[in-house]
């Protein structure tokens, strides 16, 4: 009979793997000397591997993730949840994972990284919404723009193969595309031109050049 492992313990092992690697490494991305998060997670679940220890902080993070997944149940029922999160939320209902269920084990290994990204996006969206309340359009269409802005969020467009950034300057929101991702809260000196005044109190720029990190 296949052994069953408590879902919380599997999630804590996934957190331990993410902590150890410092990032999410897929199986085919692992370099020489590296273990993918999925493989590393299984080492943490192996009682014979004493050097792989799940720490109290991993368990606390697993609790936070499970609480986050529980909060998504309403979206699951409403049918508005992304397929990836649908699968994860439904897994939590089982409370246990079969030790040889490699597909779901690999899926759970990806959750801590996805969780941090999702929480980061949600916080950024909240911040954008708050700034938007008092934001005003900048300049006129075609005007030159130059200034130091603080990056609030970044979303990748597969259609245009660019990162679309939302940033704040003097309490006003701007949006602009750039080939590389700029990190949230990073201060950037840039120049460009006013392309459009969006109806959501945001000024769209184009011909943007990032000069340096301020």
Question: How would residue 15 be classed by pLDDT, with cut points 50, 70 and 90?
Answer: very high
For the record, the structure tokens of 53 come out as 């220890």
∠ CA 54-56-61 to the nearest 5 degrees?
Answer: 90
Q: What is the pTM of this model?
A: 0.76
Does the pLDDT value for residue 214 go beyond 60? no
**Domains of the chain, earliest start first:** 4-123 (no CATH), 144-213 (2.40.50.140)
**What's the whole-number average pLDDT of the chain?**
91
The percentage of residues in the chain with a pLDDT greater than 90, rounded to a whole number, is 62
pLDDT tens-place string over residues 152-187: 998 888 888 889 999 999 999 999 999 998 988 899
Query: Are the beta carbons of 36 and 26 closer than 8 angstroms?
Result: yes
Euclidean distance between CA atoms 124 and 129, whole angstroms: 9
Q: What is the mean pLDDT of residues 88-104?
A: 88
Burial class (CB in 10 A: 0-12, 13-18, 19+), 122: exposed
- Are β-strands 144-157 and 96-98 bridged in parallel, bridged antiparallel, or unpaired? unpaired
Asked whether residue 1 carries a pLDDT value surpassing 70, the answer given is no
């Amino acid at each position: 009979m296949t052994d069953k492992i408590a879902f919380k313990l599997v999630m804590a092992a996934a957190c331990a793997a993410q902590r150890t690697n410092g990032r999410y490494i897929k199986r085919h991305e692992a370099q020489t000397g590296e273990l993918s998060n999925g493989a590393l997670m299984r080492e943490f679940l192996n009682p014979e591997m004493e050097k792989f220890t799940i720490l109290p902080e991993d368990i606390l993070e697993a609790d936070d993730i499970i609480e986050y997944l529980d909060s998504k149940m309403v979206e699951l029922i409403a049918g508005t949840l992304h397929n990836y999160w649908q699968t994860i939320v439904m897994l939590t209902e089982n409370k246990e994972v079969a030790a040889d269920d490699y597909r779901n084990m690999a899926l759970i290994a990806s959750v801590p990284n996805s969780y941090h990204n999702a929480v980061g996006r949600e916080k950024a969206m909240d911040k954008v919404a708050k700034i938007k309340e008092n934001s005003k359009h900048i300049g006129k269409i075609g005007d030159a723009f130059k200034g130091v802005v603080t990056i609030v969020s970044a979303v990748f467009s597969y259609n245009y193969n660019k990162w679309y950034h939302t940033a704040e300057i003097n309490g006003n929101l701007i949006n602009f595309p750039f080939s590389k991702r700029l990190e949230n809260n990073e201060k950037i000196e840039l120049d460009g031109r006013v392309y459009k005044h969006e109806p959501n109190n945001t000024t769209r720029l184009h011909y943007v050049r990032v000069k340096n990190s301020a």
